[in-house]
Structure 1
Amino acid sequence: MPKISVIIPIYKVEPYLDACIDSVVKQTYTNMEIILVDDGSPDNCPAMCDAWAKRDSRIRVIHEENKGQSAARNSGLDIATGKFIFFVDSDDTIEPDTIQRAWEAQEKTDADMVIVNEVCTDENDVPLQAPDFSTFQDTVLTQEELWQNFFAQDDRCSYYAIACSKLYKREIFQDLRFASGKRYEDTFILPYTVGQCKKIACLGFQGYHHRQHSNSIMSQGDPRNYLDRSEYLLEWTTCFAAKGDYLRAEGLLNDAIANLAEKERFDLSTPAQRARYRADCKACAASYRALARQTGNRSMLLRAALLRLGLPVYQAFLKHKA
């Protein structure tokens, strides 16, 4: 049984932390190192982490200044020694045999990544009726098959997108880290983790309990209200274009443009946010220029030129074209 590094970033989750760690230490798969990364939590979480480390020799604790969940995960990756990596969010829990089942699926298929199915729960860990992930079944996918499934899903695409609930070969993170300071950091990194996989084993077993409460990421409103969404769509555009999937790349770019065109959605009350918005708009023009060079499609050059004049001009062009 190879060692598995379970990384848990921790910040202001005092009501849920004991349940999370308890669900990990009681796993039927025992050859683990459990890395608790205290992200400068201002509550009792740091002391709780130290208390758990005294109770279980497999637990290692990192205390650091608050830098966000991405940085906390990266700190865990920096010291991880396991052959495999498994992320758990500190307000979530896992079933007792979750890691065992993930490892068995990896052994059976030699998958680079194993996806454990999830169930969304309320703050008391009571399962919610929606979204319903029970339709997912055991299967093994290639990269392209995963993307086909991902883009065909509704909000249940989180099955593929979230970083937790997955068993990764350690090599995937050899030169890869989460983008700091971003919302939806799981989505930013997804093309790069999937891009290193020849086989992805997907489980129907709902072994990961994703808790929803007022402070959780899933409770922060519509992703379209944050510039991070347009920015990860631009990042994805570059990734798919690099693979030669220009049709999908252009579709993602158009999604980013449509999102940015809804300017009233964003909080642009500060000079920094306004500068960031302008930079994202310019990036859309640059992405269309890059696609034009890669494909030889002259109409993309026209779109790039119009985007350089501004989104209102581009939107008027689209309206006239329709």
Structure 2
Amino acid sequence: MKVQPEHDYIAINSMEDGVWGAELSIPHEAAIAHDESIIVWMTGPRIYVNIQGRVSLFYMNFSSDNHTLYAAGKNISYEWRQAKLALPHRVSYLNPTTKSVSEVKVSGRVLKLGSAQYTAMAHDLLHECEYNSSRYIGFLGSRILYHPGDSFTIIDADQRSIYLCLAASILFPHSRIMKVCTDEEAKSLLQIIMLENRVENIELCGITETVDELREGRGAILLQGSLVFDLMGDSIEGLSSARKSELSIYSEIESPVQTGKVSQLRNLHLQMSGGWALQLNGMSGHCDRKRQLDVIVAAYNAGAYIVQCIGSILDQTRDDVRVIVVDDGSKDNTRSLLDSEFGHDERLTVLYKENGGCASARNYGRLSSLASHIAFVDADDFVSPGFFSTLYDLANYSGCEIVQGGFDFYDASKSEPYRQSYEEEYYKNWPRTKFGDLDVLRIGFRDMAAGQPSIWRRVYRRDFLDSKSIFFRESIRAYDDYSFQLLSTHEARDAVFVPSLKYHYRQHPDQDVKSGDVRHFNMVTMFHDVFASAVANSWDDVDVFLESMSHSLQWSISVLEPHLKDQFMASSAKLCARIIKSFGKNARSIIIDQINHPNFDNYLDEELARLSAFPAGAFWPLIAGELSHPDMLRMRAAARRIL
């Protein structure tokens, strides 16, 4: 970057392999020495330069630990600082060293800053006015902080910043503002500003006074500043539900605050580095959804595993992560084990219904839940400590429709029972960001759709599933999770992923995936549903679903009992032929590349020849019907025996 103060513009450019790029000239209203700052910040290889609110992006191999940056302008210097949380990473301020700041504009009012000896802090205040004001004003303007006639107190707790309390004093001139200031220089500057500008509604207080007001005061309260939870976290947690309902918080935080600790507040804005934010808006009104996660466990004759499963989900530090077990007509001791082991725990609800299959049990549990977020777990599996509570917090901070943890395979019969999944290698070099101490990835629906069918290690936003009408199909008694996974990941488009959290996928002889019986024919029905949705909703990205279908059909062919293979391939070929007629020849090449069996090629060619006289078009999956549902196969077999 080159700054040319002798002209009335700033020129910015980049060089690659000794060649300059296209130069950007930004008109400048005043001499550079009179400007407040130019800001450079970076995240990974991306370098952003902000000049008068105009941001330019460059890609550079650049290290914050070994940087070479200089200001090529007279009377200008630069310094590295830890980024404000509104910015992605580390920031360089290019500050004119000869200019003292005599006044700033806070919330529409010009405030005199007094003595020039506070120039450094004055620049800090100036930057906050420029870059944090819109977010703060947006929070205040979109929330109901108090009702007419209520008293309203603002408690400001920040180590060094005085911007928020000054903004609040101007925006709420008739409210009491209690300022906890732990930095003596900031306190002195604030006192000068209050005196110079006759600001009279700010009280400099100690922590004891503010905690007393929080606990024993009356009326609505806004807590703001970066030290809110450091200084008052325990006091906030100990408040009654009634008092919490009068409380709003606006704060920057270093690590996640558990959702359950703040879910009863009137309003909330917690900003965290990495772009995470926990939001709660009292203006949205009351709905029938509780701010909690309900984990649905469908159980049928699960006595051998149910205690370990439920015990691993319930987090002893949380009461906003709950479990709903749907006993799907068990004949073993599942019910008595749940009563004896967890009968005292209010976080567990057990529902009983006649046997209808796993899909019906999952839907039953979901429809019985009033939670804002839903998860599904198989009764023979278990999770690592804090698995669902962490994912639930991440779901709230990210706002994503789907968040997920990693998984591994668990086989108790092995000397080394835990075996890594393919994801350890697949995502090894994936870009990561931090959520507290955790490494977090963002992955697209293609990676989720093509991977292991795993509805069981994910947390879903309930409003997302309801709005898209995504349910488990109850007529499918096995492999119903395939269609749920494909439909939900396609509609969500991407997800946040924490590989270090582990769902332990138990391997044992009684699993559906270990069978080679007629239940595999559910695959055909299930994929028919997926492609019917693709046609009905005009999806233009079906290749990943073709690959998922082809992998799954190939796997079924490989494990089916020999007498069922040809019938399964014939049914699969009917579906594939209809898909090829709908989506073109490219669909055929994808299918043939994945399904490696000569008989399947013959069945597919025969079916395509039979359909050759009919026009192509995306209507075949809609009229294909139940191609080979297991119940139909059983009926036909019974009819043959009778005849």
Q: Which residue of 1 aligns with 2:520?
A: 226
Q: Which residue of 2 aligns with 1:176?
A: 470
Displacement of 1:77: 0.8
Displacement of 1:114: 0.5
Task: Give the stretch that moved more between structures: 202-211 or 76-85.
Answer: 202-211
Task: Give the stretch that moved more between structures: 122-131 or 28-37.
Answer: 122-131
Q: Which residue of 2 aligns with 1:193?
A: 488
CA change 1:131–1:18 in 2 (3 A) is: same
CA contact (8 A) 1:230 1:260 kept: no
Please list the CA deviations of residues 117-140 of structure 1 after superposition, one character each: whole Å capped at 9, or x if unmatched: 112111379643353543446311
CA change 1:194–1:111 in 2 (3 A) is: same
Q: Which residue of 1 aligns with 2:312?
A: 23
1:100 aligns with 2:100: no
1:205 aligns with 2:478: no
1:289 aligns with 2:544: no
Q: Which residue of 1 aligns with 2:446?
A: 147
Higher relative contact order (CA 8 A, sep 6+): 1
CA change 1:287–1:131 in 2 (3 A) is: same
Aligned-partner SS, 2:460: strand
Give the % identical residues: 20
1:128 aligns with 2:423: no
Q: Which residue of 2 aligns with 1:216?
A: 511
Displacement of 1:109: 2.2
CA change 1:34–1:120 in 2 (3 A) is: same
Question: 2:463 & 2:553 partners in 1: Cα distance?
Answer: 35
Q: Which residue of 1 aligns with 2:539?
A: 243
1:87 aligns with 2:376: yes
The one-letter amino acid of 1:147's match is: R
Aligned-partner SS, 1:226: helix
Aligned-partner SS, 2:319: coil
Q: Give the number of the structure whose alpha-carbon radius of gyration is greater.
A: 2
CA contact (8 A) 2:300 2:330 kept: yes
CA change 1:316–1:197 in 2 (3 A) is: closer
CA contact (8 A) 1:237 1:250 kept: no
CA contact (8 A) 2:319 2:347 kept: no
1:167 aligns with 2:459: yes
CA contact (8 A) 1:238 1:249 kept: no
Question: 1:260 & 1:123 partners in 2: Cα distance?
Answer: 25
Question: 1:32 & 1:193 partners in 2: Cα distance?
Answer: 22
Displacement of 1:21: 1.2
Question: 2:545 & 2:348 partners in 1: Cα distance?
Answer: 42
Question: 1:54 & 1:258 partners in 2: Cα distance?
Answer: 45
Please list the CA deviations of residues 214-267 of structure 1 after superposition, one character each: whole Å capped at 9, or x if unmatched: 11234335x9992233444444444455311255566567778878999x8665
CA contact (8 A) 1:3 1:82 kept: yes
CA contact (8 A) 2:294 2:369 kept: yes
Match of 2:606 among 302, 313, 319: 313
1:43 aligns with 2:338: no
The one-letter amino acid of 2:393's match is: E
Displacement of 1:314: 5.6
Question: 1:122 & 1:62 partners in 2: Cα distance?
Answer: 29
Written as runs of structure 1 = structure 2, the 5 A alignment for 1:6-17 is 6-17=295-306
CA change 1:21–1:233 in 2 (3 A) is: same
CA contact (8 A) 2:328 2:352 kept: yes
Question: 2:549 & 2:381 partners in 1: Cα distance?
Answer: 33
Written as runs of structure 1 = structure 2, the 5 A alignment for 1:60-79 is 60-79=349-368
Unpaired segments of 5 or more residues in structure 2? Answer: 1-259, 261-290, 429-439, 590-599, 611-643
The one-letter amino acid of 2:419's match is: Q
Aligned-partner SS, 1:34: strand
CA change 1:53–1:215 in 2 (3 A) is: same
CA change 1:244–1:80 in 2 (3 A) is: same
Question: 1:119 & 1:254 partners in 2: Cα distance?
Answer: 24
Question: 2:541 & 2:377 partners in 1: Cα distance?
Answer: 32
**CA root-mean-square deviation:** 3.9
Displacement of 1:75: 0.6
Question: 1:176 & 1:246 partners in 2: Cα distance?
Answer: 18
CA contact (8 A) 1:225 1:266 kept: no
CA change 1:23–1:258 in 2 (3 A) is: closer
Written as runs of structure 1 = structure 2, the 5 A alignment for 1:264-303 is 268=564, 281-291=573-583
Displacement of 1:74: 0.7
Question: 1:284 & 1:140 partners in 2: Cα distance?
Answer: 32
Displacement of 1:17: 0.9
TM-score when scaled to structure 1? Answer: 0.74
The one-letter amino acid of 1:140's match is: R
Q: Which residue of 2 aligns with 1:154?
A: none
CA change 1:73–1:247 in 2 (3 A) is: closer
CA change 1:246–1:50 in 2 (3 A) is: closer
CA contact (8 A) 2:312 2:382 kept: yes
Displacement of 1:26: 3.3
CA change 1:63–1:124 in 2 (3 A) is: farther
Task: Give the stretch that moved more between structures: 106-115 or 23-32.
Answer: 23-32
The one-letter amino acid of 1:129's match is: R
CA contact (8 A) 2:295 2:323 kept: yes
CA change 1:98–1:243 in 2 (3 A) is: same
CA contact (8 A) 2:323 2:348 kept: yes
Question: 1:188 & 1:47 partners in 2: Cα distance?
Answer: 33
Question: 1:252 & 1:239 partners in 2: Cα distance?
Answer: 15
CA change 1:256–1:5 in 2 (3 A) is: closer
CA change 1:310–1:213 in 2 (3 A) is: closer
The one-letter amino acid of 1:178's match is: F
TM-score when scaled to structure 2? Answer: 0.40
Q: Which residue of 2 aligns with 1:34?
A: 323
Compare the two structures and name the one with the higher strand fraction.
2
Compare the two structures and name the one with the higher helix fraction.
1
CA change 1:254–1:93 in 2 (3 A) is: closer
Question: 2:367 & 2:503 partners in 1: Cα distance?
Answer: 24
CA contact (8 A) 1:119 1:207 kept: yes
Aligned-partner SS, 2:404: strand
Unpaired segments of 5 or more residues in structure 1? Answer: 152-156, 301-306, 318-322
The one-letter amino acid of 1:69's match is: C
